[in-house]
Structure 1
Amino acid sequence: MPISHPELTQFLSHVHPYDSLSVAALEELSTSLDQRILPAGETVYNLGDTLDGIYLIHEGAVDVFDENGTQLSALGPKNSFGERGLMKGDVAVTSATVRQDARLLIIPPAPFRRLISANPQVRRFFDRTRPVAAPKKNDLPTTRVETLMAANPYACTPDTPIRDAAVMMRDKRVSCLCVATGDTLQGILTVRDLANRSVAEGHPTDAPVSQIMTADPITLPPSAIGSDVLHAMMERHIGHLPIVEAGKLVGIVTQTDLTRFQADSSAQLVGDVASAKNPQELAKITARIPQLLVQLVAAGNRHEVVTRLITDIADVVTRRLLTLAEAEFGPPPVPYLWLACGSQGRQEQTGVSDQDNCLILHDDLAERDRPYFEMLAKYVSDGLHICGYVYCPGDMMATAQRWCQPLAVWREYFQGWIANPDTEAQMLASVMFDLRPIGGDVSLFDQLQDDTLQRAAKNSIFVAHMVANSLKHQPPLGLLRGFATVRSGEHKNTIDMKHNGVVPIVDLGRVYALQGQLRSVNTRARLQEAEAGKVISPSGARDLLDAYDLIAQSRLDHQAAQIKSGDAPDNFMPPNDLSDFERSHLRDAFVVVKTMQSAAASGRGLIT
């Protein structure tokens, strides 16, 4: 059944930029609209088609693709599409397909042109709307591993004779074999293994490949991105990387697979870091990170891609420092795990980052072993400081004895914070729930994380305290559609894009992760998993993701502009530097965050 004109007028009055129109203009616009109902899977238009007008989604969802079939947008209610083609002669420059049964409102070309001619605010909106840049071909940062990997890789079993494996590699013309039992990866056998281990060490050719294979090799999931592969290869000096999903071998990526892709310059930094001989050399390499950030932003990469690549470098720097420390002090007396929290833990580092880290030690630790880990922690922390990851002002570092403890003590920490969520416990839990392993024995963390999430989710009082703690940072909303800026000091009249911008969303994401027992620590991943796990409503998740993307991208753009101007990047953005369009949308994003905070406080934002 078609929507009535009064209902259309009401709907348009809540959609930007039509909300700027007078009542008379809205009523006139509603009478000119065509309506179309399309089922999921239906094509709205193809590249090169003559457009019926601009499309506005009333209900449902639509995906927009470029000329190469690369998805540009995933749109929902109140989103418009087709304007790029209409502004260029009524011919579609993209294609659009219905993802979820949709009702579309169509503004025909003639009424649309009259609309933008008579209303500067509407014209400004469409003039300033920039198309989302499609990922460039051969761009590793935006290429998923599943598109790079060779599926169904050649494999043999652990008891396969070395001779048979060599014959298979020769006949198949491959440089490696995966060693697996069924679908479960056990190891990898490469041409280098045949030369360095079989021939050089004199293993009989009828011996099983298990004697010369590389057992438990590093793996990645298909959802990883191409730069993950390149970084891992350059850091570990390997040329083959198996791809595993849900414990099953599904593919492999080799250096040959990457040759057709042009790696981002972040890969060069990773390679240089992996070969650095001391902290001073590392510092010279990390000094290039600000320029890398500028290049990544200028290339049109989304904020989550840029921060992921920047964080990857910090991870490799940390692991290199751990390797150098062990070379200087000898092998560790017991297994350990170095973890990062804060922005590095969440893989969200920008151009401004201090260090937040800790050490989990094996429970076999003896008192005589402590000096070793004190030296190791100081070496790594000092090295990170030299490299620009300055000491944490709150001493949240492995150099503090409190944060360099055996696993049993860490269990007591989390149990105590959950059982007695006072102010300090809330603050510490907020930091430590963002832990991510960086280097060492990962098994020291896996069970700890699972147990802690289960215990936390079951304690409604703790979750309530964490919700309250997440509301301490408020979006910078002022009266009369303005912004609440910093009132005094060096950064007077600016918006704190960290503490009042991204942190409120980071805090909400952490609460959702606790509620849903989600293992992800990355904020965007937490929001997506919270929607998938029905922790929050689909509409709330989509709105919050959109708000987060705009706020985080604005913060990153601000830092890139500062670096280009020769200034040190910071998180304080003057709102006067923004256009009216940017101010309007940024404020709308802050309103979404405030709304979701209110929903969380009242319990309406959580689906329990």
Structure 2
Amino acid sequence: MGAALPPAAGPELESLAASLESGRHAAGTTIFTAGDPITHLHLLAHGGVEIREAQGGLVSELGTGDCFGERGLLRDGLARTTARVTADARVWKLPAEQLHRLIDTYPAVAGHFRPVRGGTAGGEATVLATARADMLMSTPVVACAPDATAAHAAGLMRDHHVSCIAVVEDGKLCGILTARDLAERVLAERREAHTPVAQVMTSQPETLSRDALGSDVLRRMLQRGIGHLPVVEDGTLLGIVTQTDLTRYQARSSAHLVLAVGEAGSSREMALVTARIPQLLAQLVEANVPHEVATRLLTDVTDAVTCRLIALAEARLGPAPVPWVWLACGSQGRQEQTGVSDQDNCLLFDDSATRDDVPWFHELAKSVCHGMHEAGYVYCPGGMMAMNERWCQPLSAWKRYFHGWVDTPSPESQMLASVMFDLRPISGALPLFGQLQPWSLALAASNSIFAAHMISNSLQHTPPLGLLRGLATIRGGEHRNRIDMKLNGVIPVTDLGRLYALRGRIPAANTRARLVAAGETGVTSPSGARDLVDAYDLIAALRLAHQARLVRAGRKPDNYLDPSELSDFERGHLRDAFVVVRTMQSAIGHGRGAPN
């Protein structure tokens, strides 16, 4: 098992030994086949066993001390791979109920199997950046009807000691009224005290979902210049998050960086803030924050830098001639940034722009991209930036781009499509992006030839699996004997997530969200999606942990992991995770979403 039990566990050990079943298997026999029911954990006492994927490809070769079959056992009871004996073997079998009992009783055993069972360590967030909006909001909410008078609303604010009240009609939020609204729209304009609230409230206010993070609240408040954000679920008002709520809730981590960026007056000042990102990464890892939350918080800082640079540029250039939207792609677009990030972005503006209008957007793009470079987000080596006129275009030009990539899937088209199908709006007229994304997803989903080329392109990124039980490392050069946890780790899963998104017209750009949605919508099997999410969680978490170790050692974070940094348990689970990725690649390569 590889997990030590305490000395007091004598009776437990006796029960465990009594439940073990021993079996001998001759070379050439099959212990189980992919899809077979799994009722026991298998431990190889001696001999040899090879593990093959459902399509027959060799995954790994096992030796004395290895265990297998646990992924199916801890999931839905079905084997994910085929186990074939290569040398006469003796195998011990532990019943599922005994394994679950050990996992539930002994933390050491639970720690060994947690990556397979699913989920990433990390308790409820205790800092503002990771706190959910429903943990921050004020309740109960003080409310009034749209036809209430301004005087009545002011009295409610006074009596309840609040700076904002909700305006509700038929149980639905239709606006909010703040003390600032009363000052600017009633007193300053000398309106009568009996003026209906509907005439002075903020209609259709910016809202958040209950699972939005504190960093989202901060970014929205800074970007929109507001101090109150209603939290809404299915149209029903749950509460309101105010600046006072944020002040009460002790802010740390990315919240501090976002606030500091919002106060910066230049890219050089922002560089002083972004220089603290590696330490933030290390703190998040040490706090056992799940990888998908950690990378989102790191991306929030990038988003804040982008929005602040845009605001500074607009103050200098004046108002835009036509609507526009700034888009992030790559890891920023997917909200998956780590301690190693360059910039990837583009600009889309309305087709009503004239030739005289275009220079305004070119100036905006240059200002922001140069500023991001100075702030620590270096220029994209491939020129995938809005300052490149190719990526600063009107909506019609972007549609022509997507048409060309889908209709003529050349190697360059596949590369560009892989980047541009990860677009996420950061600032500007967000509805403009709504005119592009659903259209481009429908275009890609309807072209089977394009889909086939994208699948073929994605399969060029393979997990680093060796033939003899271990992990395949880089053979030479500066990173010899290491694993590229980006190119051979997260990118294969990112590619799969993108393929599922194109196949199912899934709007999410985030890889994990795409995988979850693919399982929920039937793009791939639910069990396959769960396995892939678990595999991705482990791969991404180990990548972040590696970067955090480098930061703590005073070194620059990178993606090259030495397997010797990991325990035997971690190496075994990492290998298992790569097996899942390879299996899912084979499945989609054979025209199926996932093995059943």
User: TM class by shorter-chain length?
Assistant: 0.7 to 0.9
1:22 shift after superposition: 2.6
Residue 340 of structure 2: aligned partner:
352
Residue 555 of structure 1: aligned partner:
543
1:525 shift after superposition: 0.6
Aligned pair partner of 1:409 in 371, 394, 397? 397
CA contact (8 A) 1:453 1:514 kept: yes
1:279 shift after superposition: 1.0
Aligned pair partner of 1:457 in 419, 426, 445? 445
- Aligned residue identity for 2:284: L
Residue 487 of structure 1: aligned partner:
475
Structure 1 residues 518 and 247: alpha-carbon distance in aligned structure 2, compared to 1, 3 A threshold: farther
Structure 2, unmatched stretches of 5+, are 1-18, 25-30, 48-68, 80-94
1:606 shift after superposition: 5.4
Structure 1 residues 288 and 16: alpha-carbon distance in aligned structure 2, compared to 1, 3 A threshold: farther
In the TM superposition, what are the counterparts of 1:238-249 in structure 2 within 5 Å? Answer: 238-249=226-237
Residue 45 of structure 2: aligned partner:
22
Is 1:312 equivalent to 2:300 in the alignment? yes
Residue 500 of structure 2: aligned partner:
512
Residue 266 of structure 1: aligned partner:
254
Residue 368 of structure 1: aligned partner:
356
Q: Sequence identity, in percent?
A: 55
Aligned pair partner of 1:499 in 481, 487, 498? 487
- Aligned residue identity for 2:97: L
Between the aligned partners of 1:444 and 1:319, the Cα distance in structure 2 is 17
Which deviates more, 176-185 or 553-562?
Answer: 176-185
- Aligned residue identity for 1:406: P
TM-score (norm 1): 0.79
Between the aligned partners of 1:123 and 1:180, the Cα distance in structure 2 is 50
Structure 1 residues 233 and 129: alpha-carbon distance in aligned structure 2, compared to 1, 3 A threshold: same
SS in 2 for 1:19: strand
Task: Kindly provide the CA deviation profile for residues 436-486 of structure 1, in whole angstroms up to 9, marking residues without a partner as x.
Answer: 000100010013111221222222222222222221211111220222222
Aligned pair partner of 1:218 in 173, 188, 206? 206
SS in 1 for 2:463: coil
Between the aligned partners of 2:23 and 2:506, the Cα distance in structure 1 is 40
Is 1:538 equivalent to 2:526 in the alignment? yes
Between the aligned partners of 1:280 and 1:403, the Cα distance in structure 2 is 25
1:187 shift after superposition: 3.0
Which deviates more, 275-284 or 142-151?
Answer: 142-151
Between the aligned partners of 1:345 and 1:107, the Cα distance in structure 2 is 41
Residue 150 of structure 2: aligned partner:
162
TM-score (norm 2): 0.80
Which deviates more, 407-416 or 563-572?
Answer: 407-416
Between the aligned partners of 2:376 and 2:567, the Cα distance in structure 1 is 33
- Aligned residue identity for 1:22: A
CA contact (8 A) 1:235 1:270 kept: no
Task: Kindly provide the CA deviation profile for residues 518-555 of structure 1, in whole angstroms up to 9, marking residues without a partner as x.
Answer: 11110011111111111111111111011100100011
Structure 1 residues 451 and 7: alpha-carbon distance in aligned structure 2, compared to 1, 3 A threshold: farther
Structure 1 residues 276 and 127: alpha-carbon distance in aligned structure 2, compared to 1, 3 A threshold: closer
CA contact (8 A) 1:150 1:252 kept: yes
Structure 1 residues 205 and 126: alpha-carbon distance in aligned structure 2, compared to 1, 3 A threshold: closer
CA contact (8 A) 1:153 1:177 kept: yes
- Aligned residue identity for 1:397: M
1:168 shift after superposition: 3.2
1:412 shift after superposition: 1.8
SS in 2 for 1:253: strand
CA contact (8 A) 1:57 1:77 kept: no
- Aligned residue identity for 1:362: D
SS in 2 for 1:22: strand
CA contact (8 A) 1:476 1:500 kept: yes
Aligned pair partner of 2:572 in 567, 577, 584? 584
- Aligned residue identity for 2:267: P
Aligned pair partner of 2:378 in 343, 368, 390? 390
Which deviates more, 160-169 or 281-290?
Answer: 160-169
Between the aligned partners of 1:58 and 1:288, the Cα distance in structure 2 is 39
- Aligned residue identity for 1:239: G
Residue 50 of structure 2: aligned partner:
none
Is 1:571 equivalent to 2:563 in the alignment? no
- Aligned residue identity for 1:384: M
Task: Kindly provide the CA deviation profile for residues 297-346 of structure 1, in whole angstroms up to 9, marking residues without a partner as x.
Answer: 11111111110100001001000000000111111111110000000000
| Count of aligned positions | 529
Aligned pair partner of 2:284 in 283, 286, 296? 296
Between the aligned partners of 2:214 and 2:409, the Cα distance in structure 1 is 41
Residue 185 of structure 2: aligned partner:
197
Task: Kindly provide the CA deviation profile for residues 10-35 of structure 1, in whole angstroms up to 9, marking residues without a partner as x.
Answer: 68x998995334389xxxxxxxxxxx
CA contact (8 A) 2:223 2:307 kept: no
1:570 shift after superposition: 0.8
SS in 1 for 2:158: helix
Is 1:105 equivalent to 2:97 in the alignment? yes
1:430 shift after superposition: 1.0
Is 1:276 equivalent to 2:299 in the alignment? no
What is the root-mean-square deviation of aligned Cα atoms in Å? 3.5
Structure 1 residues 512 and 130: alpha-carbon distance in aligned structure 2, compared to 1, 3 A threshold: closer
SS in 2 for 1:437: strand
- Aligned residue identity for 2:188: A
Between the aligned partners of 2:475 and 2:20, the Cα distance in structure 1 is 47
Residue 92 of structure 2: aligned partner:
none
SS in 1 for 2:464: coil
Task: Kindly provide the CA deviation profile for residues 172-219 of structure 1, in whole angstroms up to 9, marking residues without a partner as x.
Answer: 443212235545544321112212332233222233334433344322
Between the aligned partners of 1:412 and 1:7, the Cα distance in structure 2 is 64
SS in 1 for 2:435: helix
Which deviates more, 183-192 or 137-146?
Answer: 137-146
